[in-house]
Structure 1
Amino acid sequence: MHQAEIIVLLFAAVAVLAVVACKLRLPYPIVLVISGLALSFVPRLPEVKLNPDTVFYFILPALVYPAALFTSWRDFRRNLRTILLLAIGLVLTTMVAVAWIAHAVVPGLPWAAAFALGAIVSPPDAIAATAIIRRLGVPHRIQAILEGESLVNDATALVALQFAIGALVTGTFSPGYAAARFVWAAVAGIGFGLLVGVVMRWVQSHLDDPPIQITISLVTPFIAYLPAERLHASGVLATVAAGIFLGWHSPVMISARTRLQVYAFWETAMFLLNGFVFIVIGLQLPRILQTLNRESLTGAVVSAIIICAAVILVRFAWVIPAAYLPRLLSSKLRMRDPIPSWQNIAIVSWAGMRGVVSLAAAFALPLALSDGSSFPGRDYILFFAFSVIFTTLILQGLTLPLLIRKLGITHDGEADEEERRARLEANNAAIELIGKLRASGEFSSDTVDRLRAEYDERVEQLQLCAENPDDCRGEIATPQYQRLQREALRAERQTIIRLRNERVINDDALRRIQRDLDLAEARLTGD
């Protein structure tokens, strides 16, 4: 079977399995990994190799950029202290803890190789966690912290991995040099990403052609990532910086029609890439098992269990003190940012699922050192990395919804209330402008009154939502109003389809009218 056919079949499998996951009310990454694992044992199935270069230089920038693009800079900055504690402090602590344990339980594993393993399994992937959190509804801050952590932690882990491999190859390690390189990677990466963001903002603001602008948006993460890596800076941080910068400026940088299409494009691209990656993760097990003989497999399984337990427990051991100690030591911090509930801390501690970056980093380990000798413990590292990914995804991913329910964590409504207030203020501003335009005599009274009535209706709906927030979460209309308008929109759709079928209108006219109806329905539900 040709490689292109395999890729098409995998994308088709992603779509089918995502539907299955929705029916089972399970996060789709978990279903995809399990399905990929099951498919890997199908006889005569062509081998699907996870090419590290493809992951690092194509998939990773394409996943990081839209995540940064849709990140709230305000929320990211508000939670920056917590995010950095997790993305830098926890990653490095996990690396050290895993290295110490791996060196102890795996006979003959050098310290540098053990640190490489620690760096590989240290960064969590927030995709599965956020999929669960968005479905069940938890305080908005938890989601902001987990998503912010996942934007930065890959950079920390990959830089640390480079140091570990370098120490193994050269036999030396300089803490001072490593610290300087780390600072350079961070500062240069962020600086270059902001430079790319400034240039792309200028380019996008001078265009009004959605296909061209989507193409520019598509290449932006690679323009940020690849040169930054050439400069030995962090390509991940460069992509994150460019994405957050452009996301902040997108409301005034591109037109409404372009923005709608860009967001739809990236939403689809993220789903396809994430789905492809998770199903391929499951397919890698036979390839990994081939590297281990039966005698070593039993010992490797025991060691993998110990390492998986360490990865999970270290997160608890870090998150809990990091949440309490700074606030206990600083009254100013405690007043500005009160101690979160222990339930919220428990959720953040448990949401440490690993993903594709860990497995790709393991496969990217060199086969041999500069002297021609094989990379020590590479087979074990591959097996341990897969074990950590699979265990955290399945164990934590399947139990996280249960934990959220048992702890009684619910949506705090903070983001929805902010949105409602913003909508109300925007509508009141429009009403004020309409009043001024009426007084100017520039528009007829009938036209002004008609538009004013629409805005008055919106304001009334928003005020009703303030009185009954449970019935209006994320919406601008009451449920009864929504049902009525959906029925009206359905009647309009049926009519234009009938007119097209009767050849009264052509397909172009149908698509133009249908687009207006689609936008009306999307606006109705706040999508």
Structure 2
Amino acid sequence: MAERSGGCGRRHAAALHRPDPANRASPNGATPDPAKLGPMLALEVIVAIGLAILVGGLIAARLRVTTPVLLIPLGVLLGFIPAFREIELPPEAVLLLFLPVLLFWESLTTSTREIRRFIRVILLNGTLLVFVTAFGVAIVGTWFGLPWVVALVLGAVLAPTDATAVSELAGSLPRRQRTVLRAESLINDGTALVIYALVVSVAVSGQEITPLEITWTLLVSYVGGIAIGVALGYLGSLAFRIRMPLISNVGLIITPFAAFLIAEVVGSSGVLAVVVCGLVMARIAPRVAGPEARDQAQSFWTVSTYLLNAALFVLIGLEVQVVIRELPPSQLGLGVVFGVVVWIALIVIRAAFVMLSTVVIRLVDRRPYQRTLRSSRRGLVMSSLAGFRGAVSLAAVLAVPTVIASGDAFPNRDLVVFVTTIVIVLTLGVQGPLLPFIIKWARLPADDGIDEERNFAELAASRAAVEAIPGMANELGIEDSVRDKVLAETEHHIEVLEAVASDEPDEEATRQKEQYNRLRLAALELKRETIVNLRDEQRIDDIVLRRIQSQLDLEELRLTGRTEE
């Protein structure tokens, strides 16, 4: 693992050092057999995590609950398997492998327009709220006897909400609230990891850092991360111009890691670099990316990010057992109470900040446009309870060094790790399942803007095509009969869209569209069965089958509307 976190710089390198788990003593004092931690065990862990994801996803769909609610308990159950008792969540994997991928795809697929609309709230929650939370949790930590600097480490660890958890648990939120939460989670990781690295550096070295040094570190972290993100966003967009889809997507995959790496090397925030890079590429990609490359990227990133997200929750469950075994039995009761109090404090701090910042914004900005962005009180309560903590917090706390510069053990490290784990489990296991009920209680307005905008866009595109088809047909030398056929199909599509978009939708047109889709879907199913039979009769090759199936699948997705955002 690179021995730094996002934006911490080289002089904080020691802050994220962690000994090899294979060299750690087991609970009974014996050192684990290195042979047990070899490739075979790694394969067993991969298979076990994969099965947990599969079973958890199936059960979650049947019970209609979010998958993390089941994946964490399944991870705990895996911890009872003797061979898995020494498996831990590697912080370097989260900070250097999982985090760039997940943050990049989140930023690449989020709504930049909604971010601009709510940028003030997002920046406040992604920066100032992080500081307030870190110091608020630190005050609570001192009540339980932690030294101030250690308590501040705990605060920095728990300050950021987790983009992975928000993405999984807040999917049922309306678009506005979901976008704000996602964007906040993308930003606050960078802020929190900078604070974390500074505080851990002080705790390890015992040397104080001046306010000027803190300001300079934050400035370099933010400005450098943003600048590198913009530069890599434009540079990475060159991959979209490659008309070989596989090679184009290789460039896309490399981009977030390159942005993270370059930012870390120069001492800036790798997290911010990845986020800004994704936002820049999201603006450029629609103009330059080819359709096949886009289709491949959507399929690859959808599956890979789902697996990474789910694997993180299973690993969190596995880590629960390890953390419980490492904490002395005499501190278990204290740790549980400590964790519950910190969890409540996080909710209270977030709620107070959200309410207070909303009041201040409304007092300062009374523009009519600003009034349209206001949320109801119940909506504010819901946003206050949607601040989930996850794998980033756990990775950061596991990366806290075991010893300080003097050679002594890091004070209360096991207790800090245990409390962090308790808080994560509570936010995911209690707040997560409660969120759908809170959303229902909040009575938020229906979020049908996406459907309306989609219909508007399709209408505008189709009308532009009708106007341009005659001229394009002449330029391309298209026969009149072919031109008229394409024009008729496009005009019929416009009629259907106009009927749906009207204030009083034409029931007959809507019914005909429904029947049209049903008949087309039935015909597609018959086509599939026919080409499979042709393959079985060895009249066509498997390659031909797959190519035709791919076309039929895309047509079905278009008809049913089952496409990813």
Q: TM-score, normalised by structure 1?
A: 0.94
Q: Does 1:112 align with 2:145?
A: no
| 1:172 alignment partner, SS class | coil
Aligned to 1:389: 424
Which consecutive aligned stretches of 4+ in structure 1 deviate over 6 angstroms post-superposition?
468-472
Q: 1:13 to 1:5 in 2, by over 3 A?
A: same
Aligned to 1:328: 363
Aligned to 1:177: 213
Aligned to 2:235: 199
Q: Does 1:30 align with 2:69?
A: yes
1:441-466 Cα offsets, whole Å, 9 max, x none, are 93222211211122123222222332
Aligned to 1:154: 189
**Selected match of 1:363 from 398, 412, 415:** 398
Q: 1:132 to 1:469 in 2, by over 3 A?
A: farther
Q: Report the Cα offset of residue 393 of structure 1.
A: 0.5
1:125 counterpart letter in structure 2: D
Aligned to 2:332: 297
- Does the CA-based 8 Å contact 1:91-1:123 persist in structure 2? yes
1:3 counterpart letter in structure 2: A
Q: Report the Cα offset of residue 467 of structure 1.
A: 4.0
Q: How many matched pairs? A: 520
- Does the CA-based 8 Å contact 1:327-1:333 persist in structure 2? no
**Selected match of 2:136 from 97, 104, 119:** 97
Which deviates more from structure 2 when the two are superposed, residues 63-72 or residues 402-411?
402-411
- Does the CA-based 8 Å contact 2:397-2:417 persist in structure 1? yes
Q: Report the Cα offset of residue 511 of structure 1.
A: 1.3
- Does the CA-based 8 Å contact 1:27-1:128 persist in structure 2? no
| 1:251 alignment partner, SS class | helix
Identical aligned residues as a percent: 34
Q: Report the Cα offset of residue 201 of structure 1.
A: 1.8
- Does the CA-based 8 Å contact 2:225-2:272 persist in structure 1? yes
Q: Which runs of 5+ in 2 are unaligned?
A: 1-39
Mapping 1:226-265, distance limit 5 Å: 226-265=261-300
- Does the CA-based 8 Å contact 2:335-2:415 persist in structure 1? yes
Q: Report the Cα offset of residue 491 of structure 1.
A: 1.1
Aligned to 1:213: 248
Q: Report the Cα offset of residue 407 of structure 1.
A: 2.5
- Does the CA-based 8 Å contact 1:87-1:156 persist in structure 2? yes
- Does the CA-based 8 Å contact 2:166-2:182 persist in structure 1? no
Distance 1:337 1:181 in 2: 37
Q: Report the Cα offset of residue 307 of structure 1.
A: 0.7
Q: Does 1:407 align with 2:438?
A: no
Q: Report the Cα offset of residue 308 of structure 1.
A: 0.9
Distance 1:479 1:86 in 2: 44
1:123 counterpart letter in structure 2: P
1:187 counterpart letter in structure 2: V
Q: Does 1:462 align with 2:501?
A: no
Aligned to 1:79: 118
- CA RMSD of the aligned region, Å? 2.3
- Does the CA-based 8 Å contact 1:194-1:241 persist in structure 2? yes
Distance 2:212 2:403 in 1: 27
Distance 1:411 1:59 in 2: 34
Distance 1:419 1:225 in 2: 34
- Does the CA-based 8 Å contact 1:427-1:455 persist in structure 2? yes
**Selected match of 2:303 from 264, 268, 272:** 268
Q: Report the Cα offset of residue 354 of structure 1.
A: 0.8
Q: 1:148 to 1:470 in 2, by over 3 A?
A: farther
Aligned to 2:389: 354
Which deviates more from structure 2 when the two are superposed, residues 253-262 or residues 67-76?
67-76
1:59 counterpart letter in structure 2: F
Aligned to 1:425: 460
Aligned to 1:508: 543
Mapping 1:63-78, distance limit 5 Å: 63-78=102-117
Distance 2:540 2:369 in 1: 65
Q: Report the Cα offset of residue 512 of structure 1.
A: 1.5
1:38-57 Cα offsets, whole Å, 9 max, x none, are 32234454532211111111
1:117 counterpart letter in structure 2: L
Distance 1:471 1:373 in 2: 77
Aligned to 1:121: 158
Distance 1:465 1:480 in 2: 15
Distance 2:47 2:436 in 1: 32
Q: Report the Cα offset of residue 484 of structure 1.
A: 2.2
- Does the CA-based 8 Å contact 2:239-2:249 persist in structure 1? no
Distance 1:158 1:454 in 2: 55
Q: Report the Cα offset of residue 523 of structure 1.
A: 1.6
Q: Does 1:189 align with 2:225?
A: yes
Q: Report the Cα offset of residue 415 of structure 1.
A: 2.0
Distance 1:127 1:3 in 2: 24
Distance 1:507 1:366 in 2: 55
1:13-68 Cα offsets, whole Å, 9 max, x none, are 21221122111111112211121123223445453221111111111111111111
| 2:110 alignment partner, SS class | coil
Q: 1:294 to 1:470 in 2, by over 3 A?
A: farther
Distance 2:331 2:341 in 1: 16
Which deviates more from structure 2 when the two are superposed, residues 318-327 or residues 85-94?
318-327
Q: Report the Cα offset of residue 259 of structure 1.
A: 0.8
Q: Report the Cα offset of residue 173 of structure 1.
A: 2.7
- Does the CA-based 8 Å contact 1:461-1:476 persist in structure 2? no
Distance 2:60 2:506 in 1: 27
2:206 counterpart letter in structure 1: T
1:124 counterpart letter in structure 2: T
Distance 1:194 1:428 in 2: 35
- Does the CA-based 8 Å contact 2:69-2:428 persist in structure 1? yes
Distance 1:471 1:299 in 2: 66
**Selected match of 1:379 from 386, 411, 414:** 414
2:230 counterpart letter in structure 1: L
**Selected match of 2:93 from 24, 29, 54:** 54
Which deviates more from structure 2 when the two are superposed, residues 268-277 or residues 428-437?
428-437
- Does the CA-based 8 Å contact 1:39-1:283 persist in structure 2? yes
- Does the CA-based 8 Å contact 1:91-1:156 persist in structure 2? yes
Q: Does 1:442 align with 2:477?
A: yes
Q: Report the Cα offset of residue 477 of structure 1.
A: 9.3
| 1:331 alignment partner, SS class | coil
Q: 1:60 to 1:440 in 2, by over 3 A?
A: closer
1:389-422 Cα offsets, whole Å, 9 max, x none, are 1000011100001111223235321122112111
1:103 counterpart letter in structure 2: T
Q: Report the Cα offset of residue 264 of structure 1.
A: 1.1
- Does the CA-based 8 Å contact 2:170-2:386 persist in structure 1? no
1:193 counterpart letter in structure 2: G
Q: Report the Cα offset of residue 9 of structure 1.
A: 2.5
Q: 1:428 to 1:406 in 2, by over 3 A?
A: same
Distance 2:369 2:358 in 1: 11
1:252-293 Cα offsets, whole Å, 9 max, x none, are 222110111011111111001111111000101121112221
Q: TM-score, normalised by structure 2?
A: 0.88
- Does the CA-based 8 Å contact 1:186-1:234 persist in structure 2? yes
